[in-house]
A and B are shown apart, each in its own frame.
Chain A
Amino acid sequence: MKFAILVNEGPYTHQASDTAFNFAKAVLAQGHSIFRVFFYHDGVNNATRLTTPPQDDRNIVDRWSKLGQGNELDMVVCVAAAQRRGIVDDGEMKRNGKDATNLAPGFRISGLGQLVEAGIQADRIVVFGD
């Protein structure tokens, strides 16, 4: 089955991102495919490479990056939500006159149309939120 995953909460404060991650891993382990993982609301905070949790804790961002890159997942961060929360890639840095980028590897920034498309293309879209 072809899944899409929507992550609506940021790392650490809420369980949603952990559960979404575990779900994504399970989906792949069962031989299903993931059309896209879309990060919205505070979920965009799962995509900042500057996250540095204590050493004895899980690194939620790195974990997503590795899962995404290892399985060639399309991990999309909503541009409007990202702009509000300071998640920046090269294009956004130039467009908005910022002096840094922080988008973690394996993620890309794009529009809400990508979420709508995921809803259309996937057999199931599963929402992880509060």
Chain B
Amino acid sequence: MFVNRKAPYGTIYAWESLEVVLIAAAFEQDVSMAFLDDGVYQLKKGHQTKSIGVKAFEKTFGALEDYDVTKLYVDQESLAERGLTADDLAVPVEVLPRAEMGKLMEEQDVLLSF
């Protein structure tokens, strides 16, 4: 499971995390992604990055399905704290209460946090 906690732009963590996800999927690993804290902004619809001169990668989330990466979990509290709901997100996700997210993390063989 890849744990994403950072906003999509401003730092490169989100993009470089996505690069690892794609590689792991190419190695046919059982990949899932969790989005917590400002990481939930990574999935928000309508990235517009022209004015900051950075490549937008919203579309890459849409392509994850082609890599059989379909398990995307979003922390309910993180969404609520930011005034967001699942409808604001660019791809289908499973919204989980924080306690359940914790349990899910416990079940993972490998957790990589970015």
Contact = CB atoms under 8 A, between A and B. Distances in A.
Interface of A: 6, 8, 40-41, 80-81, 84, 111-113, 115-117, 119-120, 125, 127, 129-130
Contact count band on B = 10 to 19
Contacts of B85: none
B20 A115 contact: yes
B113 A129 contact: yes
A40 B113 contact: no
Contact of B27 (A6, A116, A130): A116
Given A112-B19, A113-B27, 19 more contacts: A8-B13, A8-B114, A41-B12, A41-B13, A41-B16, A80-B16, A80-B19, A112-B20, A112-B23, A115-B23, A116-B20, A116-B23, A116-B27, A116-B29, A117-B27, A120-B29, A127-B111, A129-B114, A130-B13
A8 to B, nearest CB: 7
B12 A125 contact: no
A112 B20 CA distance: 6
Contacts of A127: 111-113
B55 to A, nearest CB: 12
Nearest to B12: A41
28 contacts: A8-B13, A8-B114, A40-B16, A40-B20, A41-B13, A41-B16, A41-B114, A80-B19, A81-B16, A111-B23, A112-B19, A112-B20, A113-B23, A113-B27, A115-B20, A115-B23, A115-B112, A116-B27, A117-B27, A119-B24, A119-B110, A119-B112, A120-B29, A120-B110, A127-B112, A129-B113, A129-B114, A130-B13
Interface of B: 12-13, 16, 19-20, 23-24, 27, 29, 109-114
A69 B7 CA distance: 37
A81 B13 CA distance: 11
Contacts of B112: 6, 115, 119, 125, 127
A127 B109 CA distance: 14
Contacts of A115: 20, 23, 112
B106 to A, nearest CB: 14
A123 B12 CA distance: 28
Nearest to A8: B114
A3 B83 CA distance: 40
Closest 10 CB pairs of A and B: A112-B23, A119-B110, A116-B27, A116-B24, A127-B113, A112-B20, A41-B16, A125-B110, A116-B23, A113-B23
